[in-house]
Structure formats: C-alpha cells, structure tokens
Amino acid sequence: MSASNASEQIELHKALAPRYAFRYGFEFSRLFQQDWHAEMMRHMPPGARRVLDLGCGTGFFLAELDERRPGAVGLDISHAMLRVSEQYVPRARVVTADAEKLPFKSASFDTIFCKGCLHHTRDHVRFLANCQRALGPQGVLVLSEPCNDNFAIRWARALMYRVSPHFHPDDRGFRKEELVELMERAGFEITYAGRYGVLAYLFAGFPDHIGVLRYVPGAAWIVRQMIKLDRWICSTRFLRIVSFQLVVAGRPKRS
C-alpha cells in the first residue's frame, strides 16, 4: 500500500476492532461466518500444512484454520485487530505487516486465504503477485471479495463506502471477470470462480450494521434456512447475479 493508504487503513481498522468483536458475538452471525469460511476452505489442497490468513483481522477465521492446520499464520496491518484476535486464537502466530509487502520468503505457504482484504489495497496486481511469490508451486490462493456484478449492489456499495465512517471511500468491489483477470495478470491459473452470499450475508453477516435478527427468536434456525436458500440462488444461472461475494481460487502458473 502507499504510505498514506496504509496509515488510513490502520486508523480505520483501529476504530473498527471493537465492532468486529461485537459482530461475531451472536450465534446466528457465527453460523453464517462459519459457512462462509467452509466455502473458502473447500478449495484448500488436501495436503496443505502451511496456511496464511492474509488480512486476518480479529482472528475469527484464523481460529478455524488453526484448528484444522495447527500453526496457521495470520497477518494484518492493524495491530488493534490482532489484539482482539487473542481471545479467539491466544497462541496464534500473528504478524503485523502491510499485505502488499509480505515479510515472508518465497514458497512459504501451501494455501493463502484472503477474505475481504484485496479491496482495501490500491495496487491489486502487486498484492496478488506477492501472494503468488509466497506460495509453493502447488499452492492455492483463495479470495473472497465484494461482488459488483449486479448494478444495484454496485451502486449501493459505492454509496455506502462514501457516506459511512466504517469504510474507506477508495475501497471497492469487483466484477467476476475483472477479479479473474487481475489474478491471471499476477501469474495465477484459475481453479474456481463462483459467487457466495445473498440473504444470509445481508441479514447475518453484519449485525453491527443490519441488526434485525438480534431481536428475532430462533435467529440461528432462520439463518440456517437462509444459507440453504442462498446455495440454491448462487447455483442458479439467472439468480446468482444478486450475490454479494465472489470466491475465486487459483494456483501459480507453471513456467
């Protein structure tokens, strides 16, 4: 990141750290986040051992990764976020660093997960190229990023990023073809590109923003049904454009 963007992101996420802890404090929200994480983890190579959660934030995803792959590493630019992560992964290996300047040797990891980190950067290809360098030859990068394929979602997200103090005005979402192209330019061969999250994402993903389910009896059951419906929507050709997230996986191109 540029020095100015890095400092702005640090200050932004310092203020957001308590909100992230609040976000994961509800059973229905945790259920949705766990399903989101499972969608990303299904692209992890079976033999992967060295795992990085890039932009790990408060560590909720990192905790799940560490359960499955002990020794998983988390990196975030916000030390305040990493301090919150201590309650989820008290013995985690975490690093405070800029994701565009990864402090790791080449081929350090078998899998790199990036959940909502790319859109906070400004030089997307450089960010992805650093991920490619940090992966082994059979490694996989798994991204989940905001989807801008639907014009209504694209417009609403652009407005929200500009008026809400919880987002940076220069952050943005991606169209599916655009994200695939960025990864290919950075030296990746795409192994999966799909969409994720509709109703459950909207109502359970961010109770600090849309908190209606906090007051509804049986919210966890409702979210389970939403997740099932979302899977059907995201697999249906003419409906999946309403999805809020892209999930894309790729491995370094062979020379």
Is the pLDDT assigned to residue 2 strictly greater than 60?
Answer: no
Most confident of 13-17, 60-64, 92-96: 60-64
In a domain, 219, yes or no: no
Quote the pLDDT of residue 60. 86
CA atoms of 186 and 245, how far apart (whole Å): 21
Quote the pLDDT of residue 13. 44
Q: Which structural domain, as residue segments, surrounds residue 72?
A: 3-25+36-197+240-252
Residue matched to tokens 């655009």? 178
All residues at 6 or more sequence positions from 126 whose CB lies less than 8 Å from its CB, including other chains? 100
Q: Average pLDDT of the chain?
A: 87
Residue matched to tokens 């994961």? 24
Are 199 and 223 in contact, with CB atoms under 8 Å apart?
no
Residue 188 β-bridge partners: 252
Report percent pLDDT > 90 for the chain: 59
Quote the pLDDT of residue 9. 44
In a domain, 95, yes or no: yes
Check residues 164 and 97 and name the one with the higher pLDDT.
Answer: 97
CA atoms of 180 and 77, how far apart (whole Å): 25
Q: Do β-strands 245-252 and 188-196 pair in parallel, antiparallel, or remain unpaired? A: antiparallel
CA atoms of 43 and 36, how far apart (whole Å): 12
All residues at 6 or more sequence positions from 168 whose CB lies less than 8 Å from its CB, including other chains? 5, 8, 9, 12, 120, 161
Is the pLDDT assigned to residue 167 strictly greater than 90?
Answer: no
In a domain, 212, yes or no: no
Check residues 168 and 140 and name the one with the higher pLDDT.
Answer: 140
241: exposed, middle or buried (C-beta count within 10 Å: 0-12, 13-18, 19+)?
Answer: middle
In a domain, 153, yes or no: yes
Tokens describing residue 6: 């890095």
In a domain, 16, yes or no: yes
For the chain, give the number of residues: 255
Is the pLDDT assigned to residue 88 strictly greater than 80?
Answer: no
What total number of domains does the chain contain?
1
Condensed to tens digits (0 to 9), the pLDDT of residues 119-154 reads: 888 899 999 999 999 999 999 999 999 999 999 888
In a domain, 137, yes or no: yes
Question: Left (φ > 0), alpha (ψ -120 to 50) or beta: where does 71 sit?
Answer: left
* pLDDT confidence bin for 20, thresholds 50/70/90: low
Quote the pLDDT of residue 101. 84
* pLDDT confidence bin for 5, thresholds 50/70/90: very low
What is the mean predicted confidence (pLDDT) over 226-235?
Answer: 97
Are 75 and 94 in contact, with CB atoms under 8 Å apart?
yes
Residue 99 belongs to a domain with what CATH number? 3.40.50.150
Quote the pLDDT of residue 177. 97
Condensed to tens digits (0 to 9), the pLDDT of residues 30-70 reads: 999 999 999 999 999 988 999 999 998 888 899 899 999 99
In a domain, 172, yes or no: yes
CA atoms of 182 and 179, how far apart (whole Å): 5
CA atoms of 173 and 72, how far apart (whole Å): 27
In a domain, 41, yes or no: yes
All residues at 6 or more sequence positions from 90 whose CB lies less than 8 Å from its CB, including other chains? none
